[in-house]
Structure 1
Amino acid sequence: MSLLVLVKEAGIVGAGGAGFPTHVKLAAKAEYILLNGAECEPLLRVDQQLMAVYPDEIIKGFEAAGRLVGAEKALIGIKEKHKEVVEILNQRIKALGMDSYVEVRGLKDAYPAGDEQVLVYELTGRVVPEAGIPIEVGCVVINSETALNIFHASRNKPVTEKYITVAGDIPQRMTVKVPVGTPIIDVLRLSGIENFAEYSVIDGGPMMGPVMISLDGYVTKKTKGLVILKKQHNLIKRKTTTMEAAKRVNKSCEQCRMCTEMCPRYLLGHDLQPHKMMRVTNYGLQDQEDQKMVYLCSQCNLCELFSCPIGLFPKSNNQYLKQQLMENNIRFTKVPISYTARKNREFRLVPSKRLVARLGLYHLDKPAPMTDVTVNPEVVRIAKSQHVGAPAIPIVAIGDNVSAGQLIGKIPDNSLGAAIHASISGTVVEIEHAYIAIRRV
């Protein structure tokens, strides 16, 4: 059985948060395959630790993926500051005899180094076109944990577990491995906190992750980090500001251009200018052709949480305008031209330490060591849709006994999607609209 089929049957999706089905990515042909080990979100520690603990497996999975897409070179992008991890990777690449094909390249400690398009530029010097994807410039990008899962797939092991960093204003920071479908609250309690009445939880990193409305959710293949902060923390207040409140505050925009001048996509040569979009909303401008640039926003949140000197909400404004365009069925039109990064880009990169300080997280930016803890939920709820594409179709029924690793949901015919598997052995007790629930034996 080919590796591509094994990857598809294993249900592998982008583990960094996007959740795009990996078998679709690996069906392409590329000049480069890139490993995204930047992990630029503050406080998160999954990728750097996986590369230190499982270097051989990640390197082998990455190399196999590169051969599959026909890549001439396999490049690992990791921040230079992680010197120990870089040394481990270099040593293992050489020991495995892959040094002529796999290469480690250092990245600056800046945000957002892990943005897919930024990573492509840093490692290859190529600029992904506006509204484009890396394959358009001959690159395929996968995450460190995804590479680990590819290795496991080559050994017929599907995705049933997820690595998560639990961080924030908590007694116990750690990175743990838990079954997919584990109740979020079970993971949060590993922090040493039992009562979360005074806390809010960010699902993902502090920059791009949303504040969870409820803690009643379940771990998916995309869950990467859980950042726990007091409800009165300024970051929580900023992230929970309503759009109507943001629009009122945004009326004080002075058009200083800082949101644009420090925008990672603008610096890559794209025509994304958030300050102009603030002008559109504040003055009720109607030219929707100019507004289409909001489709280029990666929602990295740099403009909103760092660049704006008076704390306005340019990213939220981009989202507001994008929603309006989508409701009117107005889409961005791609133009077949090449792009060049702006000359001042290297002087406008945002150091991670400055970003962490601005977010008010400096005192919380501490290790979250890989911790061997056992999380045995009595019931797991495995989402049918935890990936880009159509929800998986259940192939089990209530009352069925299943084993850990067993296929329980398949990809709909002729659709983009990913398979799902039982993460524990037990009995199927519920198949509702969104989940397949399994009770442990």
Structure 2
Amino acid sequence: MATTVQTREDAVKLFREMGLIGAGGAGFPTYFKYLTPTKILIVNAEEGEPGYEADKILLMSQAEAFVEVFAALKKIFGFEQIIIGAKEKDKKLLEPLRERYGFEIRYTPSIYGMGEEKWLTKAVTGLEVPPGKIPLHVGVTVNNVETVYNMYRALFQSKPVTEKYLNVYGEVAKQTVVLAPVGTYLIDILAMIGVDTTRYNKLAVLDGGPLMGDRVNVGEHAVTKKTNGFLVIEAAKYVADQVSLRPLPGQPAPTWDDTLPEAMKKLGLERYLDWHPTPADVLDIRDKVTRVKIFMHQDGPRGKPSIPIVKVGDRVKIGDPIAKPLDGPINDFNLLSVAHHASIDGVVTEVNEKFVRIEKK
């Protein structure tokens, strides 16, 4: 299958127009990384937080798409190597992909490294990223699995980012990997997986895992393009220092086996330690969502809010642009922003500088 664009310049523009940001972590705008040629692309499958499984499910269920996009990225951007970086603990899951599809996979120690780019670059390539620099400075580009999958959708299908895979776990009836429209309300997801939302004010939900997650407003928060998961716990159990598991200066990083039981025990969630979902376990709620709240500023602390281009009363369909990036040169670091798109069919019911709300009517 041919890509919709063939040159680096056109691909970079496409990534911006299709709204690609890092599908996890800080959500850095993808297009900006690809302005700089590098020889190595690391596909980050580390999934650093306990309870994260969605990227591995994507690799397993969409392996042929990754074969195609890897070839396209080598051709368009000149990568000499594309390496999947994953934890040693996931080797049994991923080795069949290496054997069948020829993926280059390098396994890292199963420590709580958070999938941080500098750490991963050194672990996978041996290249040391100097203080104050980023992997690009040593000839390495890093993106996580879902971001690369979104590149496939953009390059081969001209599809913008309108949906998100995320892990929902903790005080829920069943841990679930959910496929949801970007902007789906957190409280609506909880209701769909059987959580009693009438007592939402007694729940604490972290957008992210126990190490790096941020506590969010259960009634108002919505899925962003960088949301990897929602950890649901009883508010009474939530104490900030209990879920801050960073090692002290001078201490070695805790191993996965040490950290995961510790984190879950402190949160009273030991029963979820042996969760290994398969692609068949993904809960697809895309057709069930009736309202979304799409934030204009999703792309991390360095990104800028996008500019809404719709007004109240406009009818939109999935994939229609609803916000544009800031005007100006695409290589201007001070103008980091991407487009956003409708993630459901419906009517625009609210527009402001912070978000666009869409409802099915």
Counterpart position of 2:245? 305
Partner of 1:392: 306
Flag the 1:307–1:27 CA change in 2: closer, same or farther, 3 A: closer
Q: Which amino acid aligns with 2:260?
A: V
2:26 is the alignment partner of 1:34: no
Counterpart pick for 1:205 among 209, 222, 242: 209
2:184 is aligned to: 182
Distance 1:306 1:129, change over 3 A: closer
Q: CA deviation at 1:213?
A: 4.2
Tell whether the 8 Å contact from 2:294 to 2:356 is kept in structure 1 after alignment. Answer: yes
Which residue of structure 2 lines up, in the alignment, with residue 285 of structure 1? none
Residue number in structure 2 paired with 1:428: 348
The alpha-carbon deviation at position 180 of structure 1 amounts to: 0.7
Shift of 1:12: 0.6
Runs of 4+ that moved beyond 4 A: none
Q: Map Cα deviations across residues 109-157 of structure 1 (whole Å, 9 max, x no partner).
A: 1111511111100111011111221101110000100011000001101
- Identical-residue share of aligned pairs (%): 34
Q: Distance in 1 between matches of 2:48 and 2:128?
A: 19
Matched, 1:374 2:285: yes
Q: In the aligned structure 2, how far is the partner of 1:368 from the partner of 1:87?
A: 16
Gapped runs of 5+ residues in structure 2?
329-334
The 5 A counterparts of 1:353-364 are: 353-359=257-263, 360=265, 361-364=269-272
Question: 1:179 Cα deviation (Å)?
Answer: 0.5
| Matched residue SS, 1:229 | strand
Which of 169, 180, 186 is the matching residue for 2:171? 169
Task: Tell whether the 8 Å contact from 1:210 to 1:239 is kept in structure 2 after alignment.
Answer: no
The correspondence for 1:351, drawn from 255, 258, 269, is: 255
Matched with 2:331 is none
Q: After the TM superposition, which residues 216-255 of structure 1 pair with which residues of structure 2 at under 5 Å, given as runs? A: 216-233=220-237, 236-239=238-241
Q: How many residue pairs get matched?
A: 334
Q: 1:4 aligns with which of 8, 12, 24?
A: 12
1:196 aligns with 2:196: no
Q: Structure 1's 90 and 392: CA in aligned 2 closer, same or farther, altered over 3 A? A: same
Distance 1:394 1:238 in 2: 35
Q: Which moved more, 1:210-219 or 1:167-176?
A: 210-219
Q: Unaligned regions of 5+ residues in structure 1, if any?
A: 95-101, 241-300, 309-313, 315-343
Q: Distance between the aligned counterparts of 2:132 and 2:67, measured in 1?
A: 30
* Structure-2 separation of matches of 1:91 and 1:368: 21
Q: Tell me: CA distance 1:113–1:123, structure 2 relative to 1, closer, same or farther (3 Å).
A: farther
1:59-138 matches, cutoff 5 A: 59-94=67-102, 103-112=104-113, 114-138=115-139
Farther off after superposition, 414-423 or 382-391: 382-391
Which SS does the other structure have where 1:350 is aligned? coil
- Match among 315, 336, 350 for residue 416 of structure 1: 336
Question: Does structure 2 retain, via aligned residues, the 8 Å contact 1:117–1:127?
Answer: yes
Match of 1:149? 150
State the Cα deviation string for residues 384-436 of structure 1 (Å, max 9, x = none).
Answer: 11114221112222222111101111111122111100001111121123111
Alignment partner, residue 360 of structure 2: 440
Change (3 A) 1:12 1:54: same
Find the aligned partners of 2:115 and 2:308 in 1 and give their Cα distance: 34
- Give TM-score, length-normalised by structure 2: 0.86
Shift of 1:239: 4.6
Query: CA 1:400/1:28 → structure 2, altered by over 3 Å: closer, same or farther?
Result: same
- Residue 55 of structure 1 and its aligned partner are, at CA, apart by 1.4
The one-letter code sitting in structure 2 at the alignment partner of 1:202 is L
User: Could you report, residue by residue, the CA deviation over 1:249-273 in whole angstroms, capped at 9, with x for unpaired residues?
Assistant: xxxxxxxxxxxxxxxxxxxxxxxxx
CA shift for structure 1 position 84? 4.1
Q: Is the 8 A contact 1:169 1:364 kept in 2?
A: no
CA–CA separation in structure 1 for the residues paired with 2:58 and 2:92? 13
Q: Is the 8 A contact 1:89 1:104 kept in 2?
A: no
Q: Partners of 1:144 and 1:437 in 2: how far apart?
A: 28
Q: Distance in 2 between matches of 1:10 and 1:422?
A: 11
- RMSD after superposition: 2.2
Secondary structure (helix, strand or coil) at the match of 1:380 reads: strand
Once the two structures are TM-superposed, the CA of residue 63 in structure 1 deviates from its matched residue by 3.9
1:59 to 1:17, Cα distance in 2 relative to 1, 3 A: farther
- Seen in structure 2, the aligned counterparts of structure 1 residues 132 and 362 have a Cα distance that, compared at 3 Å, is farther
Who wins on radius of gyration, i.e. which is larger? 1
Q: Which letter maps to 1:56? A: E
User: Is the 1:184–1:215 contact (alpha carbons within 8 Å) kept by the matching residues of 2?
Assistant: yes
Q: Once the 2 structures are TM-superposed, how far is the Cα of residue 362 of structure 1 from its aligned partner?
A: 3.8
Q: Report the CA distance between 1:41 and its aligned residue.
A: 0.7
1:191 to 1:120, Cα distance in 2 relative to 1, 3 A: same
State the shift of 1:74 in Å: 0.9
